[in-house]
Every structure is written in C-alpha cells, then in structure tokens.
Amino acid sequence: MSEEKPAAALVTQSKYSKRVVLKSVLDRSDGGVGLVGERVVVGGWVKSHKEVKKEEPSAVPIAARVARTGSDKVTCVEILQTRVPLFRSILKAFTPHHEKERREAAVPHVKPANAVPTTAYLLVNDGSSLSNLQVVLHSSTAPIGQLTQVGMSILVEGVIEKTEQRSLVIELKVEKILHLGFVNHDRYPLAKKRIPIEGLRNFPHLRPRTKTVQSIARIRNALSRATHTFFQNHDFIEVHMPVLTSVDAKVFSEKLQVTTEKVDQQPTLMDDDDNRPVNLQVVREAIKEKADRINELSRTDSNKEALVLALQDLKNTVGLASELEENEKQTSKITYKTEQEMHLSASYQLHLESYACALGNVYTFGPTFRAEKSQPSKHLEESWNVELEMAFADLEDVSNCAEDYIKFLCQSVLENCPEVIKFMAKRVDNTLWDCLKSIATSSFERITYTEALEHLENATEKAVEGETEWGLALTEEQERHVIHPATYQVYKKPVIIYNHPKEAKPFFVRLNDDGKTVAAFDVIIPRVGKLVRGSQKEERVDKLNRRMEELGLAKEQYEWYFDLRRHGTVKHSGLTLEFDHMVLLATAQRDIRDVVAFPRS
C-alpha cells in the first residue's frame, strides 16, 4: 500500500484563479520539494530562456559500424571523414553521385535540422514571488521557436519535478499548454537585460515587470499595510477626506485650480463600415500607410491599375482628414466659473480636526496635490501622505507618536519583506538593512530650531548653502547637514527639530509663550531629509484670529474652523508623513519618480 502524502505537502490553488500562485510553491521552507509529483497549472511571464538540442552524430561511429557489418576494416579516408568535419565537406563535393547513394544506404537516415529534438528551459514569474520557476518544454509539446520570447505570457499544466541544476530546487515538466501571449521582440522595450531604472521611466506601463520595480511595489504595499496596522492597533479611526476643497491649509502654496468646462461639439463624422466615430489621428496614420503603398507600386509598371486605385483612395483619405481638421478648429470651449474657488487639496489637516473633535484619534491616507515648481526627483504634483489628528494631545504627545510610527514602519518592513529588502540592498545599497534597523531601534534626538542653527553656525568642516539667520525656514541642505554622514555629522540618528519660528509655519499652529516660536516639529531622517511635519493646533480663538489678520487671510472661508474653537474646544495635535519619501527610504532609491506607479510631475 502506497503512503499518502501529508495534507501540508499538497499544493494550494488560488481561490479566484484556475492556477497555482508561484509564491505558494517557491516560497515554501523546503523550496517546493514537498510538492514533487504534484500536477499543477501555473501562469506567468517569461523572464529568460535557454534551448538545448539533443546532439545526434553526423556519421555512424566506427565501433557501431564494426558491430553492424562484422568487419573491422576501416580506411584512412573514413577515419578523416568521421573526425574532421572540413575534410568531410570537401570529400562530399568531389564524390560521384552513385557513390553518395551507396554510402547513404549504408548509414542510417539523419533527421533534418528542424526535426532535432529540442528542450526549452524558461524562467517564469507571475509577480507573487521574487523567485522564478523553471518551466521545461519539449519540442514534442509545442514549437520551441515560438516560446522563447522574453516578456511573453504563458499558462501551462505539468508535473513538478526535482531539477539537477545547482541554482534551482524544482522545475515544472510541461505536458499541456493552455495559453500563450506573444511579444513583438523587436518592439518590446524590456527585451534588453538590466535596463537602468532611469530608462524605465519612459515605460511606466511596462516597468512593473522588472524585478526592481516589483520589489519597490512590494515594499510600498508592506508600508501601506503597516500604516493601517499601527493606527488600528492604537485605536485610531480612518476617515476619508475630500480631494476638492476651498480651504487652503498651506496658505502660501501654489494650488491646482479646478474649473468647469463645457465643449460645444460639432457633428461627429462616423465610419460607414462599423458606425464608429472617425479619429483624426487614425486617418493621418492611414494617409502615411497609403503613401508608402503608392511608393511601392510606383517602382514597377506591372500593376498600373492598382496604382490608379491607390491614388484615388489616398485623395479621398486626405479629403476626410481636411474635414476632420476643420471640425476640430470650430470646436469651442466655454469655461464656467464656480460659485466658490475650488482647488485640489494640498493637506487634510483642517478637515481632520473636525473629526478629531468628535472621535478622538483619527487618520487619513490619500493623495495630495501641489503645483510648486521644484525638483522632480524630490517632489511631485500628486503625492501620497498619511495625516492624523489627536484630541487632548500636545506637541510632546504627537512627536512621540511620530517616532513610534516611523520605527514601526521600519521594523515591519524588515520582518515582512526580508528577502525583498536584501534584494534591494544587493541591487542598490548594501547598507539598506542596517539603516532601517538603526532607525527602528534608535531613540530619536530632539533639539530646538535655535539649537539646530547653532550647530550649522559651528559647522567648520563644510560650508552650508543658505542663510542661517534666525526666523528663516531651514533649507533641505541645512536639515540634512545636521544628520547626514557625508557632511558635518552632529547626530548619527533621526532628529526631531521643534519650536520653529512662527513665520516659518502655517497660521493654525499654536503660538508659544515667547510670542516668537510655535509648537511645531519636523522629523529629519538620514537619506531622505524631512519625513514628518507635525504641530499642536491653536485652540484659542483670539490668538488664531490675530494670526490670520497678520497674514491677511479672508476669515469668511474659515468660519467653520472657528466654530471648532467656539464649541467645546480642546487642545489637539496632528502630523503629516510623506509616504512617498518613506518608500524612498525603505528602497534606497534617490528619485521619487521611481517609487510611484504613475508619477505626475
């Protein structure tokens, strides 16, 4: 009686797909050995391939001839013919036809080259794991020449077997091909190996197929999941904030304005064949193709009738293009002004306060927008932020929350994505693991804005660009200068700089007793600089009113904001973490465009 396999050894099929996800096979502790003999259906994209042809002798070995004929008489010519291919080719050219027939009759028939048995070894990945599965295809199953395209998709059924290759543990011996998605190799941008990540920016729709961008996506997903885990574990409630707003939380930032447009459309030209609108770009491409066809027909006089028809067809198509262009010129746009000026939200802090004053601790996670002209490598017009607000919390409370949150993110990504972090460390920066570990375990240093200026003024090893006059906001270089290991390194760990000048922070930040500084802080992290901005909000109506008057803000738009102070106000504090910069930190990337799926800059 044969022993039954333990239930743990059986492969698990995806619940919503008729295939096995490669992660469930390759990421097992045994590397998939426990699944040997299992029949599975797998799918994925071909990362690389190798063909191996079964070598067949071009001539019958001498020993085999002796065994067949019973004679050991072998001529010198036959020895040379067997051993030296060039001599064999020369001899064949001068051999009489009847002699060729006699020799061909004595030698078994050799299969033509295209009939030589071939085995293809494909490395396939379905995006669920960093590892690839080796898929083995024999030419008896399918034409091998069609299956060796990098980037093509494949869905196959076969049996898991052990492999003799040192770098791999198992392979899939294919018995049936269920689907093939072919690739135009000459036009496929990822056909070349190891394209620099800068070059991948030209193909944002295809770059997720590369191992580096897949790893970035996994780390981003892990950080997103850790964000929700942290706040849910600490009894924060997630709320969704409006993207369209009339309130400006940043006051002096460049906003992306929202308007309403109505387009007066002219009658659309329709295709007589399929009753679809005629696209001008398609017509222009058709003109080019027809012109190329006419050039081909013009080279010969053999088909004058076809040339005449082609010229007439081109003339009709050019007329259609002219008509479409005229319609496009006549199309008019009418812009309507909204009753209230609206723009895309640059921050959700003000709206979060209203929910914090009812629910206690709240957070939101979503896109924010700003139109500042800045370095595209550091800032985008659309970016993702995590923002929170806590009722009954002061500056120390919210800065403690920021420190714990950042530590949790670093520790979580190390625990949940160890192989991915190691891959990014090997590919990009071999200090990545140590950097994340250091942040997760260190105690953040806390200094005032005034102390930070003193450090900059005393920095003698390297001059720092930008004025160090008290009252000015610290520049990115000045912030990095305090902690960056390549410059004058004051601290070897993250730094929280607090009590900034009131001129450097928004109107809603609580004024300190000195009348010059406000209860705000920034968290400066190695590699990325400023990662978190936070503050205690001004709950005193008179102080808030005076601050808005100093900045010349229209208080009518903020009446609802004053209501939060008039009706049951409490001290409350919040923060904003720039999530894209957190991904930069966790992936060791230097350009924000490489960690955002479809960057808008």
Mean pLDDT of the chain: 82
- Each domain of the chain, given as residue ranges in start order, spans 19-52+116-191, 62-110, 215-257+342-594, 265-336
Q: Is the pLDDT of residue 468 over 70?
A: yes
pTM of the model: 0.76
CA-nearest of 586, 529, 592 to 380 is: 592
Edge-to-edge strand ranges of the sheet holding 517-525: 237-238, 361-369, 382-391, 572-578, 529-536, 517-525, 495-501, 445-448
Q: What is the pLDDT of residues 378-398, one digit of tens each?
A: 889 999 999 999 999 999 999
Q: What is the pLDDT of residues 274-328, one digit of tens each?
A: 555 667 777 888 888 888 878 877 777 767 777 777 888 888 888 888 877 777 6
In CATH terms, the fold of domain 19-52+116-191 is: OB fold (Dihydrolipoamide Acetyltransferase, E2P) (2.40.50)
- List the alpha helices (DSSP H) in 17-94: 23-26, 62-69, 76-83, 85-93
Identify the pLDDT of residue 244: 85
Q: What is the pLDDT of residues 121-166, one digit of tens each?
A: 999 999 999 999 999 999 888 888 777 889 999 999 999 999 988 8
Q: Is 487 helix (H, G, I), strand (E, B) or coil?
A: coil
Please name every residue paired with 174 in a beta bridge, in sequence order, or none if there are none: 158
- Residue partners of 40: CB distance under 8 A and separation at least 6: 11, 19, 20, 25, 157, 158, 159, 160, 172
Q: Is the pLDDT of residue 534 over 80?
A: yes
Identify the pLDDT of residue 355: 96
Q: Is 55 helix (H, G, I), strand (E, B) or coil?
A: coil
Identify the pLDDT of residue 277: 63
Among the ranges given (97-106, 245-254, 293-302), the one the predictor scored with the smallest mean pLDDT: 97-106
Q: Is the pLDDT of residue 527 over 60?
A: yes
* Main-chain dihedrals φ then ψ at residue 118, nearest 5 degrees: -130, 140
Distance CA 500, CA 513 (A): 13
In one-letter notation, the amino acid at residue 4 is: E
Q: Is the pLDDT of residue 259 over 50?
A: yes
Average pLDDT of 537-545? Answer: 95
- Percentage with pLDDT > 70 across the chain: 78
Confidence of residue 262 (pLDDT cuts 50, 70, 90): low
Q: Is the pLDDT of residue 374 over 70?
A: no
Q: Is 523 helix (H, G, I), strand (E, B) or coil?
A: strand
- We find that the CATH architecture of domain 215-257+342-594 is 2-Layer Sandwich (3.30)
The better pLDDT of the pair 550, 373 is held by 550
Average pLDDT of 434-442? Answer: 95
Q: Is the pLDDT of residue 205 over 70?
A: yes
Distance CA 100, CA 457 (A): 95
- Rg of the chain over Cα atoms, rounded to whole angstroms, equals 35
Confidence of residue 19 (pLDDT cuts 50, 70, 90): very high
Q: Are 232 and 304 in contact (CB under 8 A)?
A: no
Average pLDDT of 32-42? Answer: 94
Distance CA 406, CA 230 (A): 10
Beta strands 237-238 and 361-369: pairing type? Answer: parallel
Q: Are 389 and 350 in contact (CB under 8 A)?
A: no
Greatest alpha-carbon span in the chain:
117
